[in-house]
Amino acid sequence: MSTLSGVARSSGIPQRSWLNPSTWHLRTRLVLVAMALLVAICGAVGIVSYASMDMVFNKQLDRQLEQASSRANDFGRPPSNFPTNPSGRPDPLEARGQAAGTLNARIDGSTVRSSGLIDAQGNRVSLSAADEQVLLSLPKDSLPVDRSLSNGDYRLVAVDTNGDVIVTGLPLADKQSAEASLVWTMVLVSLGGLVLIGLAGTVIIRRTMRPLEQLSEVATKVSRLPLDAGEVALAVRVPASAAHPGTEVGSVGHALNLMLNNVSNALEARQESETKVRQFVADASHELRTPLTAIRGYTELLRMTETFTDDGRKSLARVQSQSERMTTLVEDLLLLARLDEGQPVKVEDVDLTQLVIETVSDEKVMAPDHIWQLQLPDEPVTVRGDATQLHQVLANLLSNARKHTDRGTTVVTGVMLSADGSAVVTVTDNGPGIPDDFQGRIFSRFARADAARSGSEGTSGLGLSIVDSIVAAHGGTVEVTSRPGRTEFALRLPTVSTGEVQSSLQGDSPTS
């Protein structure tokens, strides 16, 4: 809804935020949940696969390590022409069948007598002092353990051979390379699966959720229809493809269509009833005009031709005043009936500024005990409309301010152009204000709040209803804001430039 300054008010709809999952689309949450489950499954499969392959590789490596250790331990005393270590015992690295990368060492007490490994070219490579310290710290329980050496990670086993400890080791590089390949394969396959599942899931879920979106579209269209008054064509329905009662979403769509059918029938019955009531009011008001005119005429005739006592004259004056009040009420009802029927307005160029001056001048004569002020622009403001009806709008608003405020109240009538080029007329008083609970129904017919605002004159409760209906027929709006000490009625009417469009919509041609 727009204010008089043309600034749109907040709709109150919460904005979507990625930090608040409750504002996400349902399809987004479904896709994310599916991907989260896939991530969990891929993670579980990856962990189990890695653990299983690690166990297989360890068993395979332990068998190779056991065979290499057995060859080193069974290596006998070599012939005299073979090199030996200082203690005269053979070097276990000289054992036959040892593969490239194999590590062997003989430990005598706390001294490493011989140590080394075979490189990829089959040459012997000595171990560093730090590596020998690692070998000395190995447990002598013949169980394989993993250690980091200067040449890489090794799986080592130390076997006690009656005084000497022979250490045998095999590199872990091949195992680690295979496991790294397995990890990368699992990661890439999982990422590819996530992408495919995300894309496919989005398409599938979007197609699956399409019936729900159709339900939402129908409900949104119905929510924007003016169902509160007038003839309503409720032709919006859920498509048959989304209203099949055999599915969950289809059952909702079918139920929504049944509800819309019921609402449509109720609206048609209400409109028929309202039409009958309006026709009755129009007919009754029209029929009452003749007898009321006769009553007023005969009352005036009696006043001029007959002699009455003081009480008789008072009674006759009372009859005349009540007949005049009844005539005004009937005329108001007839006007509302015509406006309800949608009768086109006779439009012409109306100098709104001059109309305001004349109406305020009339009120000054009727209520000299109020302070009447004008706030007018330098240039006249011209609108398209019925001058008589617009005069009645202004007279009703000023009369409303006069009747419901005390003597000495200041009433300011202003004319201005808003930011969007519309003409705005404001009637502001510094009276006691309008209760908040009454402001929402102040433009309803026969709505009265005489007790809320002071003043001595009674009202029929139709004045502001007529204002609202006439302004709506002219393509404008009327608003009220009130608090103790300030009450403002604001009219917004199309000017000449925008009024021509309204005139063409109503099918009237300008009159001159």
User: Tell me, what's the pLDDT at 464?
Assistant: 85
- Distance, in Å, from the CA atom of 141 to the CA atom of 144, rounded to the nearest integer, reads 9
- Distance, in Å, from the CA atom of 492 to the CA atom of 385, rounded to the nearest integer, reads 13
142 φψ region: left (φ > 0), alpha (ψ -120 to 50), beta (else): left
Is the model's pLDDT at 2 over the cut of 80?
Answer: no
Give pairs for 158-162: CB < 8 Å, separation 24+: 158/107, 159/69, 159/73, 161/73
Is the model's pLDDT at 346 over the cut of 50?
Answer: yes
CB 173 within 8 A of CB 191: no
Query: Residue 505, Cβ neighbours under 10 Å: how many?
Result: 10
User: Tell me, what's the pLDDT at 76?
Assistant: 39
**Reported confidence tier of residue 311, pLDDT bands at 50, 70, 90:** confident
DSSP state of 1: -
**Reported confidence tier of residue 230, pLDDT bands at 50, 70, 90:** low
User: Tell me, what's the pLDDT at 183?
Assistant: 92
Query: Residue 384, Cβ neighbours under 10 Å: how many?
Result: 26
Is the model's pLDDT at 4 over the cut of 70?
Answer: no
Nearest to 96 by CA among 119, 67, 116, 120: 67
Q: pLDDT tens across 33-76, in order?
A: 888 888 899 899 989 999 999 999 989 998 998 888 888 887 73
**Reported confidence tier of residue 501, pLDDT bands at 50, 70, 90:** very low
DSSP state of 125: E
Between 182-186, 255-259, 325-329, 402-406, the lowest mean confidence (pLDDT) is in 325-329
User: How far is the CA of 72 from the CAs of 119, 147, 158, in angstroms?
Assistant: 17, 20, 11
Tokens representing residue 464 in the block = 């502001």
Query: Residue 9, Cβ neighbours under 10 Å: how many?
Result: 8
- Say if pTM beats, i.e. exceeds, 0.85: no
- What residues pair up with 124 in beta bridges, in sequence order? 118
Percent of the residues in the chain that have a pLDDT greater than 70, as a whole number: 86
Estimate to the nearest angstrom the gap between the alpha carbon of 386 and the chain centroid.
42
Q: How many CA atoms lie within 13 A of 301 on its CB side?
A: 6
421 φψ region: left (φ > 0), alpha (ψ -120 to 50), beta (else): left
- Distance, in Å, from the CA atom of 327 to the CA atom of 333, rounded to the nearest integer, reads 10
User: Tell me, what's the pLDDT at 13?
Assistant: 53
Q: pLDDT tens across 116-126, in order?
A: 888 888 888 88
Tokens representing residue 192 in the block = 């590819």
- What residues pair up with 170 in beta bridges, in sequence order? 155
Q: What is the mean pLDDT of the chain?
A: 80
User: Tell me, what's the pLDDT at 403?
Assistant: 86
- What residues pair up with 384 in beta bridges, in sequence order? 349
User: Tell me, what's the pLDDT at 210?
Assistant: 84
Q: pLDDT tens across 166-215, in order?
A: 888 999 988 999 999 999 999 999 899 888 888 888 888 888 878 888 88
Estimate to the nearest angstrom the gap between the alpha carbon of 216 and the chain centroid.
13
Q: pLDDT tens across 232-267, in order?
A: 777 888 888 888 887 888 888 889 889 988 888 888
- Distance, in Å, from the CA atom of 434 to the CA atom of 436, rounded to the nearest integer, reads 6
Between 155-159, 226-230, 259-263, the lowest mean confidence (pLDDT) is in 226-230
Q: pLDDT tens across 84-142, in order?
A: 444 556 778 877 778 888 898 888 878 888 888 888 888 888 888 898 898 888 888 88
Query: Residue 399, Cβ neighbours under 10 Å: how many?
Result: 19
Residue type, 85: N
- Distance, in Å, from the CA atom of 46 to the CA atom of 42, rounded to the nearest integer, reads 6
CB 91 within 8 A of CB 83: yes
- Distance, in Å, from the CA atom of 346 to the CA atom of 210, rounded to the nearest integer, reads 49
**Reported confidence tier of residue 454, pLDDT bands at 50, 70, 90:** very low
Alpha helices, DSSP H, located in 367-405: 387-403
